[in-house]
Structure 1
Amino acid sequence: MMSMVLSLQIIITAFLFITTTATATASASSPPSGFTMDLIHRRTINSSSSRRSNNNDTYDQLLSSSSPYADVVFDNYEYLMKLKIGTPPVEIEATIDTGSDMIWTQCLPCLHCHKQRNPIFDPSKSSTYKEECSSNTSSCDYDLYYGDGTYSKGRLATETVTIQSTSGHSYVMPEIVIGCSHNSSEAIRSTASGIVGLGRQPLSLISQIGLGAFSYCFSPEEGTSSKISFGSNAIVSGDGTVSTPMFLKEDKPTFYYLNLDAVSVGKARVETLGTPFHAVDGNIVIDSGSTAFYLPASYLSLVRELVEKVVTAEKVDSEETLCYKTNSMDLFPVITVHFSGGADLVLDKNNTYMAFNGQVICLMIMSAPATPFAEKAVFGNRAQSNFLVGYDRSSLQVSFKPTHCADVTQAMPRDSTSAASSFLQLFHIKFVLFILVLSLIRP
């Protein structure tokens, strides 16, 4: 009898221990192997009431701040992630950017800062902010320069970062390396607090959390939710999915390169083969932080010529891009991009053309600005909208699946270690222990 009581005590103790452990696991704050977050889509320039109606002015406004990669100044599309930094946590909104490697936010004291929606982070009020160098050295200093000439300068530090998934779970990530920007270009017209870099280098968010894959789905409709997923939640598969190799370059280690084989305008195809743009090891950067689709000028002229053959409307005089005085998208041809490996993306007209004031429609494929840091070819976020885009950093593949991103909420999986999963595990443990108790009590 004593032995049976002792066994029951051991089982009850084990039961309580496992129950407590499983419950703790269900509410664990470290990121799971897969999770999804909401993104905010914001128009930063052209949605304002001060939009100019003059065609040339409208176009100047369109191009005045364009950047081929890692940009925080968007003429049209900006996708922001909400996260909290510090202890106590302070919420910021930061632009997700596959063309840069750092997580940074504007910090007090701010010598030069662009305007942002959220209060500027004050590191002196955070108990977990720590610079890993002495205050009298410059080893913690960083300087970032972007393709449009804007910049961020500040100090590197470790800080606690908290993120919230679409399943309602908050995950706390201690000692994440961030940049505390005390000097950012006043030319930055984004309302974001900073940038969440998703590039290939060690300081990017995807590298620091140690998950090998991420995906996003950008809705072009302002006011609708877009999504970004990490780890096991980032798998892109199913009908309509196409994949293309990802190329890495040692001299430009941040970027994800794809190989663009051709562009079709309607049924007419322009090969890169035979042009200086042709490559077999990556000739275009895929970038979530740039709005426009950039091509080298010589190759772009071939694409424009085909568009000009189709569109019958009156042209707007411009040296920089192709614009027409019309309000009818029906006049414009469908454009298809052909990536290596047979990944053909038929782009919606809203991916490749932009309407201004109901009077002018412009081709949103243009020549990259002549700045020192500019890439000559960039596949920007406007062209990627309404595609589920997945980056598998292990298999070096980028996948695309046509998706109406505003409706993607129901299609996203829950966190891999969600409370529901933990509850099922706990129920199984309880059931097994219950059977053991019965076996010991049975005479």
Structure 2
Amino acid sequence: MNVSRCELVQCWTRLGPKALDVSHTIVLSVIQRSIPLKYWSIPYSFSLYIYCLVLRLTHSAITTESLCVLDSWPFFVLPLPSTIFSSSLLLFFSCYVSGIPVYGAGEGKDGFHSTPVSSLLPKNKCSAPAGGGSQGLPITQKYGPCSGSGHSQPPSPQEIFGRDESRVSFINSKCNQYTSGNSKNHAHNNNLFDEDGNFLVDVAFGTPPQKFKLILDTGSSITWTQCKACVNCLQDSHQYFDSSASSTYSFGSCIPSTVENNYNMTYGDESTSVGNYGCDTMTLEPSDVFQKFQFGCGRNNKGDFGSGADGMLGLGQGQLSMVSQTASKFKKVFSYCLPEQNSIGLLLFGDEATSQSPSLKFTSLVNGPGTLQESGYYFVNLSDMSVGNERLNIPSSVFASPGTIIDSGTVITRLPQRAYSALKAAFKKAMAKYPLSNGRRNENDMLDTCYNLSGTKDVLLPEIVPHFGEGADVRLSGKRVVWGNDASRLCLAFAGNSKSTMNPELTIIGNRQQVSLTVLYDIQGRRIGFGGNGCSK
């Protein structure tokens, strides 16, 4: 029998832990059109039970790509008792409303989100979520209204992109040193800080505790703050560590396997921090106090570390990182939700972070090139990408070497040119009905695919989905897809590697694509997890 109406049809090829898609539109269509009982097949009813059972047992998410919805579908059906029809429909709603997340519900097209243009623009008023719930360290954007830095004028987009490009070039230079066989000993050369990449957390050192705002950075393995007796001091820093005021401070290294008492940090824009190591009590929260924590005491600091930043919190994989020094309690597990500009995020450690695991999609941590691996960067396997409902089918070899890193300090995700060209073409196709804006405004503007949405109230934005190893598909929408300060110029928030980047090309997943997601780092378990709505906990 040929059924000429929109029906829900199970996809046998996707049966299993693959996610099921159900949208409000489809549900209402089924009810409103009152499909006669004779059009409901035994195979469909049975598959519905199986799907729901699988979802329950695997805690799978409901996504738009795993349900077939056809206007016409030829198959044979058998009459079913009304009790079976009712139980199927009730079970359908049981799966739908009982906590299984639904992505794309109520949208007009799979893989797209109808998004108010106003929600894509920066806000100047802090809208911090209500307190309570999880413990952890609040995260703020350095130049955002929630940071309390007192800096009223953030850098221009040109400054942001210029600094971001310097950081990316520096990371690539270390990668190229390895792949070209010219690796040098750049001890603890790490990162460049930039506006949107400057996420601050409060950490205290000393007895009694002295509190500092440190930049969270997964690409560094050194924690340091500026000391009171600095020769060259950061002008925008608010606090200076006074070692003489702490009863528990000791000069030099306190980790047996390290012998150096001094450090010298060089950054991508030639900013530097030079000083000595010291050991003291580190306090995160009243219940999280660590004795003899080794950190850098900056005495000669030059360059642009930005307003309100007193130093850096190194969350890389190196021996001196905070992750390694707190491993006895936190088991090398932490998670963060990087906030939007006008909100507050959360940094969690140990069991608090692990409690989020059931709702996350995990991919394995893999080994990267030596110099980058030693610096503490986190490498994962990226196999392909999708835009809207279109799989790009980029050869996995494009991402394979030197690999892909997850970085909290880089702003805009960088892709190999071949991958970016495919992404850009698919995005332009999906956005074809919207007028293009001008291209790059200056040499520092890396965003080249922009739209004028000043006359548009709601824009139908395609999802962008990086497909990581082990089936960890991370669906990006809204501000994770576009960037802009006003509606007349909203741009695709991805970029290709610059022409100066040597081959092979490194892929860097930047913080713009991580905003408002839960990202969990389980170093001992060798995996990274991704989930939604992490800042609302």
Verify same fold: TM over 0.5.
yes
Query: Conserved in 1, the CA contact under 8 Å of 2:205 and 2:281?
Result: yes
Question: How much does 1:73 deviate?
Answer: 2.2
User: Out of 464, 470, 477, which is 1:341 matched to?
Assistant: 470
Query: Conserved in 2, the CA contact under 8 Å of 1:310 and 1:333?
Result: yes
TM-score, structure 1 normalization: 0.72
| Cα shift readout 1:376-407 (whole Å, capped 9, x = no counterpart) | 322122211222211111221111111251x2
Cα distance, 1:187–1:219 mapped onto 2, change above 3 Å: closer
Residue 297 of structure 2 aligns with which residue? 180
How do residues 43-58 of structure 1 correspond to structure 2 at under 5 angstroms? Answer: 43-44=142-143
| Cα shift readout 1:405-441 (whole Å, capped 9, x = no counterpart) | 1x20xxxxxxxxxxxxxxxxxxxxxxxxxxxxxxxxx
User: Out of 159, 173, 194, which is 1:61 matched to?
Assistant: 159
Residue 485 of structure 2 aligns with which residue? 356
| Cα shift readout 1:70-123 (whole Å, capped 9, x = no counterpart) | 545223253222111123321101111111101101113223333345322222
SS of equivalent residue, structure 1 residue 316: coil
Query: Conserved in 2, the CA contact under 8 Å of 1:86 and 1:160?
Result: yes
Residue 105 (str. 1) matches residue 235 (str. 2): no
| Cα shift readout 1:304-338 (whole Å, capped 9, x = no counterpart) | 22222333322322162223333457154221111
Mean CA deviation greater in 379-388 or 200-209 = 379-388
Q: Which amino acid aligns with 1:62?
A: I
Residue 290 of structure 1 aligns with which residue? 410
User: Out of 185, 205, 211, which is 1:85 matched to?
Assistant: 205
Residue 152 (str. 1) matches residue 152 (str. 2): no
Query: Conserved in 1, the CA contact under 8 Å of 2:160 and 2:194?
Result: no
Partner Cα distance (2:145, 2:417) in 1: 25
User: Out of 514, 518, 525, which is 1:388 matched to?
Assistant: 518
Query: Conserved in 2, the CA contact under 8 Å of 1:46 and 1:75?
Result: no
Q: Which amino acid aligns with 1:387?
A: L
Question: How much does 1:286 deviate?
Answer: 0.8
Cα distance, 1:219–1:51 mapped onto 2, change above 3 Å: closer
How do residues 235-254 of structure 1 correspond to structure 2 at under 5 angstroms? Answer: 235=354, 237=356, 240-249=359-368, 250-251=370-371, 252-253=373-374, 254=376
Question: How much does 1:49 deviate?
Answer: 6.1
Residue 196 (str. 1) matches residue 316 (str. 2): no
User: Out of 490, 495, 512, which is 1:366 matched to?
Assistant: 495
Partner Cα distance (1:189, 1:44) in 2: 9
SS of equivalent residue, structure 2 residue 427: helix
Residue 398 (str. 1) matches residue 528 (str. 2): yes
Partner Cα distance (2:418, 2:380) in 1: 19
Question: How much does 1:202 deviate?
Answer: 1.1
Q: Which amino acid aligns with 1:362?
A: C
User: Out of 251, 257, 261, which is 2:379 matched to?
Assistant: 257
SS of equivalent residue, structure 1 residue 64: helix
Residue 138 of structure 2 aligns with which residue? 39
| Cα shift readout 1:128-179 (whole Å, capped 9, x = no counterpart) | 322237xxxx942212223454332221121221221xxxx34332211101
Query: Conserved in 1, the CA contact under 8 Å of 2:410 and 2:511?
Result: yes
Residue 321 (str. 1) matches residue 321 (str. 2): no
Cα distance, 1:113–1:306 mapped onto 2, change above 3 Å: farther
Partner Cα distance (1:398, 1:304) in 2: 27
Residue 330 (str. 1) matches residue 459 (str. 2): yes
SS of equivalent residue, structure 2 residue 251: coil
Cα distance, 1:274–1:255 mapped onto 2, change above 3 Å: closer
Partner Cα distance (1:376, 1:332) in 2: 27
Question: How much does 1:38 deviate?
Answer: 2.2
Residue 161 (str. 1) matches residue 279 (str. 2): no
Question: How much does 1:371 deviate?
Answer: 8.3
Residue 32 of structure 1 aligns with which residue? none
Question: How much does 1:339 deviate?
Answer: 0.5
Residue 143 of structure 1 aligns with which residue? 264
SS of equivalent residue, structure 1 residue 305: helix
Query: Conserved in 1, the CA contact under 8 Å of 2:252 and 2:262?
Result: no
Percent identity, please.
27
Query: Conserved in 2, the CA contact under 8 Å of 1:389 and 1:399?
Result: yes
Partner Cα distance (1:82, 1:367) in 2: 34
Query: Conserved in 2, the CA contact under 8 Å of 1:38 and 1:228?
Result: yes
Partner Cα distance (1:95, 1:64) in 2: 19
User: Out of 76, 94, 97, which is 2:196 matched to?
Assistant: 76
Q: What 5-or-longer segments of structure 1 have no aligned partner?
A: 1-34, 53-57, 409-443
Q: How many residues align?
A: 356
Cα distance, 1:131–1:231 mapped onto 2, change above 3 Å: same
User: Out of 329, 353, 365, which is 1:234 matched to?
Assistant: 353
Q: Which amino acid aligns with 1:93?
A: K
Partner Cα distance (2:467, 2:284) in 1: 36
TM-score, structure 2 normalization: 0.60
SS of equivalent residue, structure 1 residue 246: strand
Query: Conserved in 1, the CA contact under 8 Å of 2:226 and 2:240?
Result: yes
SS of equivalent residue, structure 2 residue 163: coil
Residue 206 (str. 1) matches residue 326 (str. 2): no
Question: How much does 1:190 deviate?
Answer: 4.4
Which structure is higher in RCO with an 8 Å CA cutoff and minimum separation 6? 1
Q: Which amino acid aligns with 2:531?
A: K
Q: Which amino acid aligns with 2:447?
A: T
Partner Cα distance (2:301, 2:406) in 1: 25
Q: Which amino acid aligns with 1:257?
A: F
Partner Cα distance (1:79, 1:59) in 2: 17
SS of equivalent residue, structure 1 residue 62: helix
User: Out of 368, 377, 397, which is 2:507 matched to?
Assistant: 377
Partner Cα distance (1:403, 1:179) in 2: 34
| Cα shift readout 1:346-388 (whole Å, capped 9, x = no counterpart) | 102211211213321122212456689xx83221222112222
SS of equivalent residue, structure 2 residue 250: coil
Query: Conserved in 1, the CA contact under 8 Å of 2:201 and 2:214?
Result: yes
Residue 26 of structure 1 aligns with which residue? none
Partner Cα distance (2:324, 2:384) in 1: 32
Query: Conserved in 1, the CA contact under 8 Å of 2:345 and 2:516?
Result: no
CA RMSD of aligned residues (A): 3.0
Q: Which amino acid aligns with 1:244?
A: T
Query: Conserved in 1, the CA contact under 8 Å of 2:237 and 2:307?
Result: no
Residue 218 of structure 1 aligns with which residue? 338
How do residues 107-146 of structure 1 correspond to structure 2 at under 5 angstroms? Answer: 107-132=227-252, 139-146=260-267
Question: How much does 1:245 deviate?
Answer: 0.6
Query: Conserved in 2, the CA contact under 8 Å of 1:45 and 1:75?
Result: no
Residue 278 (str. 1) matches residue 405 (str. 2): no
Cα distance, 1:381–1:342 mapped onto 2, change above 3 Å: same
